[in-house]
Amino acid sequence: MEVVICPDAGGVGEVSAATIAQIVTRVGPQVVIGAATGSSPLATYSELADRVRAGTLDLSQASVFALDEYVGLPVGHPESYHDCIRRTVTEPLGLDPARVHVPDGNPDGLDTAGQRYEDAIRAAGGVDVQIVGIGVNGHIGFNEPTSSLSSRTRVKTLTEQTRRDNARFFDSLDEVPRHCITQGLGTVMDARHVLLVATGEHKADAVAAVVEGPVTAMRPGSVLQMHPHVTVVVDEAAASRLTMADYFRAAYDNRPDWQRNPAAPPSLLTV
């Protein structure tokens, strides 16, 4: 696991976007990107959009698979993840909407929605780089504590903590759905590289638990310790409870040239 500690949220966006651009360079234009919603990756998307506008990054043939979606929000609801991904990812990054996929939260097709999503990811050749944020309870996607560490895309019930955390995007807590459909932890673990972004002091406990704590379904993101290629990009506040922070800083600051090379294989990119 490579942990990069940046001075602030802007730095997190820059390093994350550079990591993704590096993977796009290596994989080629038909790269498959897993996208997270939430506030954490917004700076990353905005940095990527700058590169697309400047003509240094072409994502027009890229495919995107979102992590999750609420169940039951009407099509076009501004807080549906379909709409969030359109606003923050598809349009600014110049993606082909036909290649952008979000789990189907329509209650009518829920029994098959998970398998359909898994099939679509497999048909695209799997995810090259999966971006994830982290909930204060350690969830990734909407895999709440006690999620199976090998789970696949499926319907989940949101915890009250997550509903309260996400209520800021809705007019009231009552409007926050109780159910969601999310890529499973096993689905995320199938991605060839996982990029976790987190900012702010309120994420410090979750980051420390996921990076340095035991692997446990009570902190679902901790399953990433079992993944061979994970980059965790955090600001100083989110890193503030990491006991290995000095080691992570030294490892990143002293990367040799062969590790910085954009064409370097993943085995050379992580500490």
Q: Which residues are catalytic?
A: 68, 137, 139, 144
Phi-psi region of 126 (alpha: psi -120 to 50; beta: other; left: phi over 0): left
Q: Which of residues 38-57 bind ligand GLP (CB under 6 A)?
A: 38-40
- The SS3 call for residue 22 is helix
Q: Which is nearer to ligand GLP, 159 or 259 (CB)?
A: 159
Residue nearest to ligand GLP (CB): 133
User: CA angle 143-164-85, nearest 5°?
Assistant: 60
- Binds ligand GLP (CB under 6 A): choice among 2, 68, 69, 128: 68
Reference 71, options 180, 183, 182; nearest CA is 180
C-alpha dist (Å) from residue 229 to 49, 214, 241: 25, 18, 22
Does residue 103 bind ligand GLP (CB under 6 A)? no
Does residue 70 bind ligand GLP (CB under 6 A)? no
- Binds ligand GLP (CB under 6 A): choice among 90, 162, 183, 231: 162
- Beta strand segments in 21-132, E: 32-35, 63-66, 68-70, 100-101, 129-132
Does residue 177 bind ligand GLP (CB under 6 A)? no
Does residue 137 bind ligand GLP (CB under 6 A)? no
Q: Which is nearer to ligand GLP, 95 or 198 (CB)?
A: 198
Does residue 166 bind ligand GLP (CB under 6 A)? yes
> What's the longest Cα–Cα distance across the chain?
53
Phi-psi region of 157 (alpha: psi -120 to 50; beta: other; left: phi over 0): beta
Q: Which is nearer to ligand GLP, 155 or 251 (CB)?
A: 155
Does residue 135 bind ligand GLP (CB under 6 A)? yes
Using CB under 6 A as the criterion, what x/- string covers residues 232-261 for binding ligand GLP? ------------------------------
Q: Which of residues 115-134 bind ligand GLP (CB under 6 A)?
A: 133-134
CB of 256 vs ligand GLP, minimal distance in Å? 32
Read off the amino acid at residue 72.
G
Q: What is the DSSP string of 155-202?
A: EEEPPHHHHHHHGGGSSSGGGS-SEEEE--HHHHHTSS-EEEEE-SGG
> Using CA atoms, how far apart are residues 156 and 134, in angstroms rounded to an integer?
16
Q: Which of residues 198-227 bind ligand GLP (CB under 6 A)?
A: none
Does residue 13 bind ligand GLP (CB under 6 A)? no
What tokens does 59 get? 């994502």
Does residue 181 bind ligand GLP (CB under 6 A)? no
> Using CA atoms, how far apart are residues 180 and 72, in angstroms rounded to an integer?
8
Q: Which is nearer to ligand GLP, 39 or 270 (CB)?
A: 39
Does residue 187 bind ligand GLP (CB under 6 A)? no
Which residues of this protein are in contact with ligand GLP, per CB under 6 A? 36-40, 67-68, 133-135, 141-142, 162, 166
